[in-house]
Structure 1
């Protein structure tokens, strides 16, 4: 082997050993669950929610969303995840539409109702896996009068237009950063922030898709390092300019696969 080629090969191997290669997110297997609906025919009642995405129309999540039961929500760890759902026609041919599916994004939490039994009104009680879907999404797979239907679901890659977005709220020594429009796995596992005067500072989940830092970062350009729940990591260098203000949203050109 030519010595120059060999040296290049060794350098490539050395560099590659420093990084773990993570492929794009792959669909999961199918699991049984149940589904109801909420929010009205225009899904206006689904706005806001426990993930913090706010107005789902303007932030791009639309009407194909769902609130997840405790067993699925994971204290906000599931925020942004996407699920393909079909109504189990064999189990309930009366209220299920046959041969159709809908893909939804987790944007809210369906709280348990311990005053009602799990099989009669307490649909979101642990350990049930349940989707309280936006009505327009639910009606893609079920007949309105049915109210609740058995479903099969699989977690699937999220498809998004554009890059990941960061919305900064808070005040002075408290930055609350909403991470939205995440493709691929859809959900964030960990996150760090770096200012021009700091090193990388770990952030913690405050609620839903909101991550917090308790550092004074005013007047500094900010970078974020985000790791998704399937292990992909991207660095968004200087995505926030030094003249940023609380309440602003910054869109990147980077996206997860």
Structure 2
């Protein structure tokens, strides 16, 4: 009997060690990027993951973590659950910003995967990075697609609650929008476009997408049909413009 009890205790300990604990909710702040893919692409992140397929991992729901964040070191590939708060928030220069009423639903949340860095010191965007990424508040630069699930782009920045979670976690109240309500995404590189045998990814581009994140002026946006022709695949098979972004 004693041996059986010991085995049961060991089994419980092993099960507990295999589970990633969900951390407590913390206060933070979030901006967004990716709506100007010719300048700031979510597919060229500092973690080196390359193109983020919309139907793999957390898809386009990714974030750049401030390099002043206490959990920044070793953060690549880690996931966070984020929800919007309707309240005031300050920027890094001490300016107060009223975000009361900014949230679509303060009880809903989105899971983002860390793929990039929001550097405090960045000369090409000095004022903005200093404003958000230097550690006055825990800060996430979310992809525009994740941000839009929580609030409208017009707000620019929102106060948030966040916590570290397992990347496979599903929120109790999952935030989502239809793909045809979202900002258009960036097509996979031509060299990778034919690697997916099912070609189901095209349904995530009901409004077309951007061919080249380095276009400089946004002129790289084309239809799905044109993109498939340019990559030698012929026309599309239709696609589902009502596919819900983030909701299977």
**Map of 1:135 onto structure 2:** 144
Cα distance 1:60–1:9, how it changes in 2: closer, same or farther (>3 A)? closer
Aligned residues: 154
Q: 1:23 to 1:11 in 2, by over 3 A?
A: closer
Change (3 A) 1:117 1:20: same
Displacement of 1:34:
0.6
Query: 2:16 and 2:150 mapped to 1: Cα distance?
Result: 37
- TM-superposed CA distance for 1:97, in Å, is 2.1
Residue in structure 2 matching 1:154, options 138, 159, 163: 163
Alignment partner for residue 51 of structure 1, among 47, 52, 57? 47
- Residue 113 of structure 2 is matched in structure 1 by 105
Quote how far apart the aligned CAs of 1:48 are.
2.6
How far apart are the structure 1 equivalents of 2:69 and 2:167? 17
Q: Distance in 2 between matches of 1:65 and 1:149?
A: 16
TM-score between both structures, scaled by the size of structure 1: 0.49
- What pairs with 1:16-35 in structure 2 (closer than 5 Å)? 22-35=17-30
2:30–2:142 Cα contact (<8 Å) kept: yes
What TM-score, normalized to structure 2? Answer: 0.51
- Any stretches of 5+ residues in structure 2 without a counterpart? 89-98, 170-248
SS of equivalent to 1:136? helix
RMSD, matched Cα: 3.7
- Between Structure 1 and Structure 2, the one with more helix by share is 2
Give 1 or 2 for the bigger CA radius of gyration.
Answer: 1
Q: In 2 relative to 1, CA 42–113 (structure 1 residues): closer, same or farther, beyond 3 Å?
A: closer
Task: Determine which structure has greater relative contact order: mean sequence separation of CA pairs < 8 Å that are 6+ residues apart, divided by chain length.
Answer: 2
The Cα offsets for residues 204-255 of structure 1, whole Å up to 9 and x where unpaired, read as: xxxxxxxxxxxxxxxxxxxxxxxxxxxxxxxxxxxxxxxxxxxxxxxxxxxx
- In 1, Cα distance between equivalents of 2:6 and 2:103: 58
Deviations 1:119-149 (A, max 9, x none): x952011353101000010011122111111
For the pair 1:66 / 2:63, whether they are aligned, the reply is yes
Q: Aligned partners of 2:60, 2:70: CA distance in 1, in Å?
A: 19
Cα distance 1:153–1:10, how it changes in 2: closer, same or farther (>3 A)? closer
SS in 2 for 1:137: helix
Moved over 4 A (4+): 8-13, 41-44, 73-76, 114-118
Unaligned regions of 5+ residues in structure 1, if any?
Answer: 161-257
Compared with structure 1, are the counterparts of its residues 113 and 142 closer, same or farther at alpha carbon in structure 2 (3 Å cutoff)? farther
Q: Is the 8 A contact 2:119 2:134 kept in 1?
A: yes
